[in-house]
Amino acid sequence: MTPAAEKLRRLLDRPGLHRMPCCFDAHSARLIENAGFELTFMSGFAVSAARAGLPDTGLLSYGEMRDQGRDICSAIDIPVIGDGDTGYGNAMNVKRTAFGYAAAGFACVMIEDQLAPKRCGHTRGKQVVSRQEAVARVRAAVDARDAGAGVLVMARTDARATHGLDEALWRASAFEDAGADLLFVEAPHDEREMERVCQAATRPQMANLVEGGTTPFLPPARLESLGYRIVAYPLTLLMAATRAMQDALNSLKKGEPANDLLSFDALTSLVGFDDYNADAQRYATSDDASEGEGTPG
């Protein structure tokens, strides 16, 4: 296991539910870490929107997602789970994705069974590949893990929306048999379905709570009692940031100052100016002291 994967595994060895706000860039990831959360997830929906202004319909490439993940992972110390979508091709592409995500610093890569081009799990129009291809994708990611990638594997199924819950549970069980470290049955419709999801396998299960989405937005205590080990909030930060930016823009358009802003001092500290200046002072020279005073031409 990579150090990041080991950190995530140790976290999952602890009892209880782990709450996981999802990030879309290094800044949002740092906010999550600073707020005291112990892990995060790079949301494909949020990255598509923030990086390219595009919907989550498989338009971003493996390289774009990997590069975004590298920036995120290098900015924080908590483990990051990376959305690997369908693996960006066949089983060999899945293996490359697992190795690439591990090299980028991810603790875990998520691989799903949607037919490419995939789409957000809480939107219409999803399709899934055959059972055989779905399991082959997970097996390829697991093989990459065991061949040196050292990254944990989360296996996701979207079959609930297309084939019903029983098919989704069959796939989750098959993914566990194939060696997946974590499981994710997307978009169960009610608490009874969520309970069945958690009872169907022994590997840690993740709940995915989208405000306004298909799955009931349950409190953490209830999710834990159902048997979930991780709960992801994939769009909360993107929704909050978008609304705040819209409000600020509306104020500026009216010729008014924006309200409820972070102070300039707080922002400069958050992005690292204080640490940068303190470190730079260690290397200061006499030339730095006279900077800006001008010298004879």
Asked if 213 contacts 239 with a C-beta cutoff of 8 angstroms, the reply is no
Domain boundaries, the chain: 3-234, 243-282
Q: Beta strands of the chain (E only): which ranges? A: 18-23, 40-42, 80-83, 108-112, 152-157, 182-185, 206-208, 230-233
As given in the structure block, the two tokens for residue 119 are: 């789409």
At the top level of CATH, the class of 3-234 is alpha beta
39: nearest Cα among 194, 231, 202: 231
Asked if 2 contacts 9 with a C-beta cutoff of 8 angstroms, the reply is no
Cβ neighbours, 10 Å, residue 241: 16
* CA–CA separation, 104 and 210 (whole Å): 27
For residue 288, the model assigns a pLDDT of: 66
* CA–CA separation, 10 and 256 (whole Å): 50
Asked if 176 contacts 183 with a C-beta cutoff of 8 angstroms, the reply is yes
For residue 236, the model assigns a pLDDT of: 98
For residue 117, the model assigns a pLDDT of: 82
Beta-carbon contacts of residue 54 (< 8 Å; ≥ 6 apart): 48, 60
Asked if 48 contacts 56 with a C-beta cutoff of 8 angstroms, the reply is yes
Instruction: Classify residue 251 by burial, with Cβ atoms within 10 Å: 0-12, 13-18, 19+.
Output: middle
For residue 199, the model assigns a pLDDT of: 94
pTM for the predicted model, two decimal places = 0.93
Cβ neighbours, 10 Å, residue 233: 22
pLDDT by 10s per residue, the chain, length 297? 999 999 999 999 999 999 999 999 999 999 999 999 999 999 999 999 999 999 999 999 999 999 999 999 999 999 999 999 999 999 999 999 999 999 999 999 999 999 988 877 676 778 999 999 999 999 999 999 999 999 999 999 999 999 999 999 999 999 999 999 999 999 999 999 999 999 998 999 999 999 999 999 999 999 999 999 999 999 999 999 999 999 999 999 999 999 999 999 999 999 999 999 999 999 988 776 555 554 444
Cβ neighbours, 10 Å, residue 228: 21
For residue 173, the model assigns a pLDDT of: 97
**Kind of pairing, strands 206-208 and 230-233?**
parallel
